């Protein structure tokens, strides 16, 4: 079954720049997809439209059966609850512990204390950081901080995990650790979309690769590599 379907999607920003043209894309439930392309090719715009940070100017986008292009602002929370997001710069709260950073994502949804505790510990276990629950972010390595941000993104059991350059601030060895965690999460059934410039990672993982060029989808390979086009 398809989790994401985009039909003739276009995004023109108010300054007249068209960042995405006539995009037709389907992503199946459980898929792992890399979105690659040069800087300015439209990767972030595409990703932002999926979680309704940006609205397409033409076309239709459905995520988990919800038409996000038509969603009213007051209903955006409905889609945000189905999607976890991981950013390049982690965005952890520095004054909260690892545990609190992850638990907070559930507390704001009104989960009970018992549920918060159970799910937070499960998520930290999944990313291999249960032992560091009491640490503060600045006591962790970059890779560990990114794993906390992944735990926070998945603690609510989202169907889709969107990662925007998650290894952009990490060294190659740490990046591989982060990718192992993402692979585990994908194997448990979460669909993953990851925008990246990280050639080594794309080549190693052998997942579906979508290449954008000047806002157009120009290549879509089932088990792709980075090197076939961008030089």
CB of 18 to ligand ADP, least distance (A): 8
Which lies closer to ligand ADP via its Cβ, residue 6 or residue 156? 6
Which lies closer to ligand ADP via its Cβ, residue 39 or residue 73? 39
Which lies closer to ligand ADP via its Cβ, residue 18 or residue 225? 18
Helices (H), the chain: 43-50, 76-80, 98-107, 113-126, 142-154, 172-187, 199-205
Let me know the angle formed at the C-alpha of 149 by 189 and 91, rounded to the nearest 5 degrees.
Answer: 140
Does the footprint of ligand ADP cover residue 40 (CB under 6 A)?
yes
Does the footprint of ligand ADP cover residue 52 (CB under 6 A)?
no
The burial class, CB within 10 Å (0-12 / 13-18 / 19+), for 58 is middle
Does the footprint of ligand ADP cover residue 13 (CB under 6 A)?
yes
Phi and psi at residue 27, to the nearest 5°: -125, 125
How many residues of this chain bind ligand ADP (CB under 6 A)? Answer: 12
CB of 45 to ligand ADP, least distance (A): 3
Q: Where does this chain bind ligand ADP (CB under 6 A)?
A: 13, 15, 17, 19, 37, 39-45
């Amino acid at each position: 079954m398809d989790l994401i379907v985009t039909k003739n999607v276009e995004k023109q920003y108010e300054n007249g720049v068209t960042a995405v043209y006539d995009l037709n894309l389907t992503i199946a439930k459980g898929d792992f997809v890399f979105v690659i392309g040069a800087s300015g090719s439209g990767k972030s715009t595409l990703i932002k439209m999926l979680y309704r940070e940006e609205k397409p100017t033409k076309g239709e986008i459905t995520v988990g059966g919800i038409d996000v292009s038509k969603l009213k602002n007051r209903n955006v929370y409905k889609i945000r609850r189905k999607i976890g997001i991981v950013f390049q710069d982690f965005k952890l709260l520095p004054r909260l512990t690892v545990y609190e950073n992850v638990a907070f994502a559930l507390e704001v949804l009104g989960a009970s204390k018992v549920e918060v505790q159970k799910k937070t510990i499960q998520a930290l276990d999944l990313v291999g950081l249960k032992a560091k629950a009491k640490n503060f972010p600045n006591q962790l390595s970059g890779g560990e901080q990114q794993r906390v941000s992944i735990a926070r993104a998945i603690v609510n059991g989202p169907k889709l995990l969107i990662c925007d350059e998650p290894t952009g601030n990490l060294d190659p060895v740490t990046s591989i650790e982060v990718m192992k965690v993402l692979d585990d999460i994908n194997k448990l059934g979460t669909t993953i979309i990851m925008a990246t410039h990280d050639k080594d990672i794309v080549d190693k993982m052998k997942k579906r690769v979508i290449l954008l060029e000047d806002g157009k989808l120009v290549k879509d390979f089932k088990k792709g590599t980075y090197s076939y086009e961008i030089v």
